[in-house]
Amino acid sequence: MAPVNQPPALRKQEFLSGVRDTLPLLLGALPFGLIYGAVAATSGLSFAAAIAMSALVFAGSSQFIAIGLVAAQTPVAIIVLTTLIVNLRHMLYSATLLPYLKDLPQRWRIPLAFWLTDETFAVAVHRFQRKDSSSCKHWYQLGSSIAMYLNWQLWCFLGLVLGNRIPDAQNWGLDVAMPVTFIGMIIPFVKTLPVALCVLTAGAASLLTLAMPYKLGILASAFAGIAAGLMAQRLARAKVEAIRQ
């Protein structure tokens, strides 16, 4: 069962720690949110639709891909499939955090699941894995989640408001901040050869498939990375079993 009668001071401490540890990652969302808003303003989406996507979808990479596909008049099925595949990584995040959150009531699990992002996962998983007696670690994730959510909504809104005043925003090169942020989050998790091969294969495949229409290179790269990682893991297990025999 989830712990009850948690000390208010401990809840506040965990919440503020989650906010504090997420602050460096907020900078990566700043230019990306501005560019999303600016591009959404000229993609054919209404102001209300762009705001609703930001508030209800809350998935930066998927939102950016979706508005690009909308602007290119891509079939709806392709848009849905692409964004679905891009966000499948959240299933892995959820599976990793489940052992730490499974005893929480639904009123906690539902909002934490909705607010789960790459940045929040990166800081929260390290907090959950830290060995201490705190019974309020979910408050840490909540602090990180709310900080990321409010930050994203702010910059997306400003991008939409200023969209027509930002000339050729896509070619400013500001969107480099998001890949750099992702790379910074991924590096601490690259501790085994299968993970390293997965990352390197996906990165190489993304460069080779960059010219594919409808952003299908993202799907191809994801599958290539997963396949490489699984293959390397199976070979490693087979080698260990062979040594034991």
pLDDT for 143-180, tens place per residue?
Answer: 999 999 999 999 999 888 886 666 665 565 555 666 66
Query: Based on the domain organization, do 78 and 155 belong to the same domain?
Result: yes
Residue 174 lies in a domain: no
The four Cα atoms 156, 157, 160, 166 give a dihedral, to 10 degrees, of -70
179 in any annotated domain: no
Is 175 within the bounds of a domain? no
Amino acid at 159: G
Based on the domain organization, do 128 and 208 belong to the same domain?
no
Q: How many whole angstroms separate alpha carbon 97 and alpha carbon 58?
A: 19
pLDDT bin (cut points 50, 70, 90) of residue 111 is very high
The residue assigned the tokens 């599958």 is 223
The answer to whether residues 48 and 89 belong to one domain is yes
Does any domain span residue 210?
Answer: yes
pLDDT digit string, tens, across residues 175-216: 566 666 667 667 777 888 888 998 899 889 988 998 887 667
Residue 65 inside a domain? The answer is yes
Residues 83 and 198 in one domain: no
Question: How many domains does one find in the chain?
Answer: 2
Q: Give the domain range for residue 230.
A: 190-245
> Is 139 a member of any domain?
yes
Query: Do residue 107 and residue 228 come from a single domain?
Result: no
CA atoms lying within 13 Å on the CB side of residue 54: 31
Distance CA 130, CA 137 (A): 10
98 and 152 housed in the same domain: yes
Q: How far apart are the first and last CA of the chain?
A: 43
28 and 119 assigned to the same domain: yes
Look up residue 135 and give its amino acid.
Answer: S
The verdict on residue 32 lying in a domain is: yes
